[in-house]
Amino acid sequence: MSRGQRTGSLGHPCVAKGTAGSEMDRHRSGVRLCDLSKKMIRRVTIMKRSAINDIIREADAFIRSFGYIMPPFAYWSPEEMKARQVDSSAIFTSRLGWDITDYGQEKFNELGLFLFTVRNGRYEDMKKGMGMLYAEKIMISRKDQLSPMHRHNIKAEDIINRGGGKLVLELFMHDRDGGIDPKAEVSVPVDGTIHRLPAGGLLKLDPGQSVTLLPGVWHAFWAEGKDVLIGEVSTVNDDLTDNVFREPIGRFSNIDEDVAPVHLLVADYEKWLG
């Protein structure tokens, strides 16, 4: 995947000023990415549509390089999306499609995530305990690109390293109030085998490995060594209400429409399709 204007220096938004060395070196020195992300949360800026178009093209090429084929609706133009609103309404109501976030910080290479929701059920079915209770995403975490500390109230998910570098997760259990428990041991299944870590411990997944995260498990993650293609298989997904971030940070990007969109993001549906 192309890095655009990325330089040899990491320039990570969650690295303390003057801190050098690899991600592992910084963690050995006691620097935690989730703690340092606090420095970013007050800077809310706008992501350009031209940059989003470039990210979509790069992501599509990266995904294809692993033999993963996107569904046909991924390549519909905005005009075709509008024309297919009636016969393909589930795409819009389930919020399937492209999703790119820089968490409102305009530093996508350092703080951000690419996602594509392939399928998604309905919370109404979850309440009934029957029906389409599952969801699937394909995601890309760029090398050293942080997805900040968060948890889910309802969603259980398997996070799968589909290829590339190592996927590193920083993990905490929740306390009685749902916040981070800084002392509790973390216990998570990795491909069916329980792994135990200290609070804030780092779990590294090689390509092919996966971890199951139940509701309430706090997690931040990033790619180490190379960009990582990530699969997510979960219960029904609702990015509007079921993402609880450690810090008050935006989930969706503000967009400067400097050019026309190649493809719509899920965050565009209401505005562009009414």
Beta-sheet pairing, 46-48 with 254-256: parallel
Please report the pLDDT score of residue 11 as a whole number: 29
Is residue 21 included in any domain, yes or no? no
Is residue 213 included in any domain, yes or no? yes
Is residue 190 included in any domain, yes or no? yes
Please report the pLDDT score of residue 46 as a whole number: 79
Greater model confidence, 265 or 3: 265
Is residue 5 included in any domain, yes or no? no
Percent of the chain exceeding pLDDT 90 equals 70
Query: Average of pLDDT values for 241-250?
Result: 84
User: What's the alpha-carbon Rg for the chain, to the nearest Å?
Assistant: 18
Q: What are the pLDDT digits (tens) for 168-212?
A: 999 999 999 999 999 999 999 999 999 999 999 999 999 999 999
* 40 band by pLDDT with thresholds 50, 70 and 90: very low
Is residue 141 included in any domain, yes or no? yes
Q: How far apart are the first and last CA of the chain?
A: 33
Percent of the chain exceeding pLDDT 70 equals 82
pTM score of the predicted model: 0.84
Give the CATH number, domain containing residue 217: 2.60.120.10
Is residue 233 included in any domain, yes or no? yes
Report the distance separating Cα 76 and Cα 80, nearest Å: 6
Is residue 69 included in any domain, yes or no? yes
Q: Cβ(121)–Cβ(236) under 8 Å? A: yes
Please report the pLDDT score of residue 199 as a whole number: 98
Q: Cβ(143)–Cβ(165) under 8 Å? A: yes
Total domains in the fold of the chain: 1
Is residue 18 included in any domain, yes or no? no
The parent domain of residue 72 ranges over 32-273
